């Protein structure tokens, strides 16, 4: 993901892996703007990976939260 972020000159790359059975998602993120994830979800970004319980919809939950801190 780091390579994609650098080569494509993106500010941030996010991969969301959702488990609909346990109703949560693992978010992996990288880039110079990864602090956006920390602000949006009120977490500390130590490993560039975080489990988000109750987050299962990118369109209804993730995008609005990220947009609100941009």
Q: Which CATH number among 3.40.50.300, 3.30.2130.30, 3.40.50.2000, 3.10.310.20 corresponds to the domain 2-59? A: 3.10.310.20
* Structure confidence at residue 34 (pLDDT): 86
Supply the pTM of this predicted model.
Answer: 0.82
Q: Residue 27 CB: number of other CB atoms within 10 A? A: 21
pLDDT at 4: 92
Beta bridge partners of 13: 30
Hey, what are 23's tokens?
Answer: 């109703």
Each residue's pLDDT tens digit, 16-68: 999 999 999 999 999 999 888 989 988 876 678 899 999 999 999 999 999 99
């Amino acid at each position: 993901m780091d390579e994609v972020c650098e080569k494509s000159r993106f500010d941030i790359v996010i991969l969301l892996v959702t488990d609909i059975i346990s109703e949560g998602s693992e978010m992996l993120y990288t880039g110079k703007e990864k602090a956006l994830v920390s602000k949006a979800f009120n977490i500390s970004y130590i490993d560039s990976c975080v489990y988000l319980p109750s987050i299962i919809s990118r369109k209804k939950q993730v995008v609005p939260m990220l947009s609100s801190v941009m």
